[in-house]
Amino acid sequence: MQIDEIFEANKRLKNKKRITPLLNSPFLDEIAGRKIFIKAECLQHTGSFKFRGAYSAISSLPIEKRKKGVIAYSSGNHAQGVALAAKIHEIPATIIMPEDAPEIKINNTKDLGAEVILYDRLNESREDIGKKISEENLLSLIPPYDHTHVIAGQGTIGIEIAEQANQNGIEKADVLVCCGGGGLTSGIAVALSKLMPSFITRPVEPEGFDDVIRSLESGERQVNEQISGGLCDAIITPTPGELTFPLMKKYCGEGIVVTDEEVMKAIALAFTRLRIVVEPGGAVALAAALFHTKKCNNDTLVAVVSGGNIDPDIFRKAIEMT
């Protein structure tokens, strides 16, 4: 994985992705005791960073192969990203989603024109289902993270962070990234290792689902004991990716674990102080910036808010904390 691949993805995504703003608030700075900047990727098309990787991967397929259509498996955000990216390319998309995914994510994926196939997260392997259907129909599989062009697409956020950091006079920073399979984290880490060598990219995970952080500590890929039932559904994955883990090992600093309560508080503070809607999985990095500041090296922190597709009931509970 070279930074050139991220620059290439950035070219393909030009005028397709939204350049999301870097937000801040003196009230959040006061809580953290440091300067916090928030990369508001919840404002990306389909409400999460996943559109970038999906578009990057689809746009890099050879035209004849692409025309036959794509398939993806996802708990929701990757699904919507692939559905929209396929729609823009005017090709069919089939999405395999867990049957316990939030209803809004299933409906949004269908409304974006994709065919949705539901599966049982505990008893079936989405990888096996995806492989079977894609072989039968000659569809190209767009994996959620373990794919060079997907990682490169997510890495375009790193390019934007570097540009926006320069505009804001930020010379050194810890960059905290919500981490599931590691596509977003590794893409950003690769980009920043070249563009901003004094920045440290750190994965952030929810308590109980800290496979990446334990893997970085041990040097070997670790597995989560459970793979469903957490608040932060969007970033629950069994283990770090085969491609993403070596990249994170090479380019990331130590990770940070946050609690569900800290996540809910971060959602509430993003509501009152930034006026953005953040989903639990998208709030873990902000929670780390606000409540685990001491684990960071620099006076300036950049937290990537990775998604905003939250169940309204959970959001209502979060803002009761304001």
Collapse the DSSP code of 304 into the 3-class scheme (helix H, G, I; strand E, B; otherwise coil) and give the result. Answer: strand
For the sheet with 200-206, list strands across it: 22-23, 35-40, 300-305, 174-178, 200-206, 256-258
Q: Does 14 bind a second copy (CB under 8 A)?
A: no
Sort strands 174-178 and 200-206 into parallel, antiparallel or unpaired. parallel
Residue recorded with tokens 């006076």: 299
User: What is the distance between the alpha carbons of residues 93 and 141, in angstroms, rounded to a whole number?
Assistant: 10
As measured in angstroms, the least distance from the Cβ of 49 to a second copy is: 12
Q: Which pair of structure tokens corresponds to residue 44? A: 């990306």
State the number of binding residues for a second copy (CB under 8 A): 33
For the sheet with 115-119, list strands across it: 115-119, 93-98, 70-73, 140-141
HSE value, Cβ hemisphere, 13 Å, CA-based, for 114: 33
Q: Phi, psi at residue 111, to the nearest 5°?
A: -65, -25
Tell me the window of 150-158, 179-187, 216-224, 313-321 that interacts with a second copy (CB under 8 A): 313-321
As measured in angstroms, the least distance from the Cβ of 25 to a second copy is: 8
Determine contact, residues 24/30, Cβ cutoff 8 Å. Answer: no
As measured in angstroms, the least distance from the Cβ of 271 to a second copy is: 6
Q: Does 322 bind a second copy (CB under 8 A)?
A: yes
Handedness of CA 132, 137, 139, 144 (dihedral sign): negative
Determine contact, residues 267/283, Cβ cutoff 8 Å. Answer: yes
As measured in angstroms, the least distance from the Cβ of 118 to a second copy is: 21
Candidates 32, 39, 47, 155: give the one binding a second copy (CB under 8 A).
Answer: 47
Q: Does 15 bind a second copy (CB under 8 A)?
A: yes
Tell me the window of 91-99, 133-141, 148-156, 272-280 that interacts with a second copy (CB under 8 A): 272-280
Closest CA to 252 of 304, 191, 206: 191
Q: Does 271 bind a second copy (CB under 8 A)?
A: yes
SS3 readout for 189-211: HHHHHHHCCCCEEEEEEECCCCH
- Tell me the per-residue interface mask from 131 to 170 with a second copy, x by CB under 8 A, - otherwise: ------------------------------------x---
**Binding positions for a second copy, 65-94, rule CB under 8 A:** 84
As measured in angstroms, the least distance from the Cβ of 315 to a second copy is: 6
Q: Does 61 bind a second copy (CB under 8 A)?
A: no
The single-letter DSSP state of residue 307 is B
Closest CA to 106 of 98, 222, 287, 62: 98
Q: Does 242 bind a second copy (CB under 8 A)?
A: no
Candidates 4, 99, 111, 217: give the one binding a second copy (CB under 8 A).
Answer: 111
Which residues have a Cβ under 8 Å from the Cβ of 270 and sit 6 or more positions away?
Answer: 38, 276, 277, 278, 283, 286, 305
Candidates 6, 12, 20, 76: give the one binding a second copy (CB under 8 A).
Answer: 20
Q: Does 247 bind a second copy (CB under 8 A)?
A: no
| Nearer residue to a second copy within complex by CB, 55 or 209 | 55
Candidates 26, 62, 197, 219: give the one binding a second copy (CB under 8 A).
Answer: 26
Q: Does 218 bind a second copy (CB under 8 A)?
A: no
| Nearer residue to a second copy within complex by CB, 119 or 271 | 271
Q: Does 189 bind a second copy (CB under 8 A)?
A: no
Instruction: Please give the residue ranges that form the binding site for a second copy (CB under 8 A).
Output: 15, 18-21, 23, 26-27, 40, 42-43, 47, 84, 104, 108, 111-112, 167, 271-272, 274-278, 308-309, 312, 315-316, 319-320, 322
